[in-house]
Homo-oligomer: A and B are copies of this chain.
């Protein structure tokens, strides 16, 4: 498969967003405009959700080749609140059984006038590969790609941080967990660097050190306490239990929590008003204690709310560019 290695192909010649495959290479104006759009879709809890007719007569297909509740639900609600028709395809149980190639599935849906494909896949390069093959008016949104990229997650993380402190250049951000296998970390770091953050600290257990070539402009350490010290933002990643525990020797939940978990004690090392983030779903009392997850500094639910707004914003942006 061809893999889009830069972001060039996801923009129109006029520089507008046509696909969203990666944050890598987007400029600050593009990202800031998406965050502004998303902000306009936010509503207080209990209020009616924001609605927008921008995707009237547009068909969005959710193709999740990996199971997902939250991201699929978020994209589905985003599309419906933008007035799109939504088609959910659980691809595991149908075409792939029949051995059809992924491109033939896409071409088939495209021939049914599907306009937007939301793709989650465990293999690297699939969203870009599809984007390279669809018709010019069709858009592809990456909803999670291997351990490489999860751009709407990156955008919602940046939006959540901006709500805390929009002065990205001044921020210290610490990300803790299996950095090497985390598409969440990749996209968060890309987003932060676009916005100008210079102090990005990565922490992982032994055996999970990331390839630093993939994380330019960051510092790595095994020492979680020193990393958190003075941070404005502390983000815990989800532990993939099967993988991380055996390799790191931190077999039990208690061992992991002791060495790399986000505890109230550790959060106190950060700035007093620091925010605590997690992409979900959480393993409570493994990578984060319930005390921290439910504490006053946690913005974990706000991340979810921002995620829906960001996805509405991305749908609006690509629809505008497609209609030009």
Contacts and interface: CB of A to CB of B under 8 A. Distances in A.
Interface residues of A, number: 56
Interface stretch (A40-48, A200-208, A244-252, A258-266): A40-48
Interface string A287-307: 000000000000001101101
B108 A95 contact: no
A284 B101 contact: yes
Nearest to A109: B73
Contact of A112 (B73, B101, B282): B73
A305 B112 CA distance: 5
A68 interface: yes
B69 A95 contact: yes
Nearest to A239: B99
B108 A301 contact: yes
A69 B57 contact: no
Contact of A49 (B48, B59, B107, B284): B59
Interface in A270-324: 280-284, 301-302, 304-305, 307-308
Contact of A108 (B104, B111, B280): B280
Given A46-B135, A104-B282, A94 B68 contact: yes
A282 B73 contact: no
A110 B45 CA distance: 9
A12 interface: no
Interface in A80-108: 80-81, 85, 87, 89, 91, 93-95, 97-101, 104-105, 107-108
A136 interface: yes
A163 interface: no
Nearest to A95: B69
Looking at A59, A107, A108, the one whose CB has the most chain B CB atoms below 10 A away is A108
A48 B59 CA distance: 10
A113 interface: yes
A46 B322 CA distance: 9
B95 A85 contact: no
Contacts of A28: none
A46 B77 contact: no
Contacts of A280: 100, 104, 108
Contacts of A72: 94
Interface string A152-180: 00000000000000000000000000000
Nearest to A238: B98
B73 A87 contact: yes
A76 interface: yes
Contacts of A243: none
Instruction: Report the 10 A-B pairs with minimum CB-CB distance, sorted nearest first.
Output: A100-B281, A111-B304, A46-B137, A69-B94, A111-B301, A48-B57, A69-B95, A49-B113, A67-B94, A111-B305
